[in-house]
Amino acid sequence: MDNILRWFLLVVLILTLGCTTKKYVNQKVVPIIDKVNALDQRAASNTRDLATADEVTEKNMAALESRIAEVNENVISARRRAEHASQTANGVSARTDSLANTIKNLDNYQSTGEASVEFPAEGDQLDQKAVATIDEFATRVPGTGDYVLTLEGSTDAAGAPEYNYDLSKRRAQAVARYLATKLRVSPYRIFSVGIGPDKPVAENKTTSGRAKNRRVDISLFTNAPATQANEEPEENAAVK
């Protein structure tokens, strides 16, 4: 009987200790597990955030590199256009100098008449006013003898330089064609050049100024005898 009682008490004690241990474990261990789980979740969230941040950074870097490449291409393109415009301007300057030298090298040629033919904006066609100006000027062109005509085409300052140089050349050619085909001026007597916006006669800030700059300047040079070019008439020499 005593043995049975001892075994019973031992079982009760074990069960009591087991319950106490389980309760202790629940109180001490479970909160730690919860904290670990929370840390795991936070770490996982941080990992996802870092992955997202890396992806965004990569996209931003790719966009930035693309933008830099585009800017570099624009810079190169602008540099090429500037170099082309500079070369074109140098070419026009050389042609203008050549035109002036052509006249200077012709002995005893003097400027005996000038006219300015105006054009509409961006136009290279002769209107009625332009035709009337050329017709009136042509009355001063001698039918015979030695003479030459120079044509300098110009534009206002609006638009790209290379476009204006080409436009000014076309304007001068339009006047040259009219002189040759309508007024029967021999083509070999006509020298033309396009100088774009490089020789304005008025401010490009106003409408009227730009209109005056859209023009072709015609100059008539005739060959005068040396005595006439260099000596004064007797009646003028007598009066001082």
Q: What is the mean pLDDT of the chain?
A: 75
Residue 86 has pLDDT above 50, yes or no: yes
Task: Please indicate whether residue 92 or residue 224 has the higher confidence score (pLDDT).
Answer: 224
Q: Could you give the CA distance from residue 65 to residue 79 in angstroms, rounded to a whole number?
A: 21
- The confidence score (pLDDT) of residue 238 equals 38
The one-letter code for the residue type at 145 is: G
- The confidence score (pLDDT) of residue 200 equals 95
Query: Nearest CA to 192 among 169, 222, 213?
Result: 169
Owner of token pair 């000596």: 231
Residue 169 has pLDDT above 90, yes or no: yes
Q: Rounded to an integer, what is the distance from CA 226 to the centroid of its chain?
A: 51
Q: Could you give the CA distance from residue 211 to residue 196 in angstroms, rounded to a whole number?
A: 14
Backbone angles phi, psi at 154, to 5 degrees: -135, 165
Residue 240 has pLDDT above 50, yes or no: no
Residue 107 has pLDDT above 50, yes or no: yes
Residue 90 has pLDDT above 70, yes or no: no
The one-letter code for the residue type at 110 is: Q
Query: Nearest CA to 89 among 212, 6, 199?
Result: 199
Say what percent of the chain tops pLDDT 70. 50
- The confidence score (pLDDT) of residue 229 equals 41
Q: Is the Cβ–Cβ distance between 168 and 123 less than 8 Å? A: no
Task: Please indicate whether residue 123 or residue 228 has the higher confidence score (pLDDT).
Answer: 123
- The confidence score (pLDDT) of residue 213 equals 97
Q: Could you give the CA distance from residue 81 to residue 23 in angstroms, rounded to a whole number?
A: 86
- The confidence score (pLDDT) of residue 144 equals 75
Residue 239 pLDDT level (bands cut at 50, 70, 90): very low
What sign results for the dihedral spanned by CA atoms 206, 207, 213, 217? negative
For the chain, how long is the longest CA-to-CA vector? 175
- The confidence score (pLDDT) of residue 108 equals 72
Task: Please indicate whether residue 223 or residue 104 has the higher confidence score (pLDDT).
Answer: 223
Backbone angles phi, psi at 156, to 5 degrees: -80, -175
Residue 62 has pLDDT above 80, yes or no: no
Residue 116 has pLDDT above 80, yes or no: yes
Q: Is the Cβ–Cβ distance between 193 and 78 less than 8 Å? A: no
The one-letter code for the residue type at 11 is: V
Please state the rounded mean pLDDT for residues 4-26. 56
Checking DSSP bridges between strand 109-118 and strand 147-153, what pairing results, if any?
unpaired
- The confidence score (pLDDT) of residue 32 equals 60
The one-letter code for the residue type at 13 is: L
Instruction: Express the helix, strand and coil content of the chain in percent, nearest 5 each.
Output: 65, 15, 20
Q: Could you give the CA distance from residue 194 to residue 133 in angstroms, rounded to a whole number?
A: 19
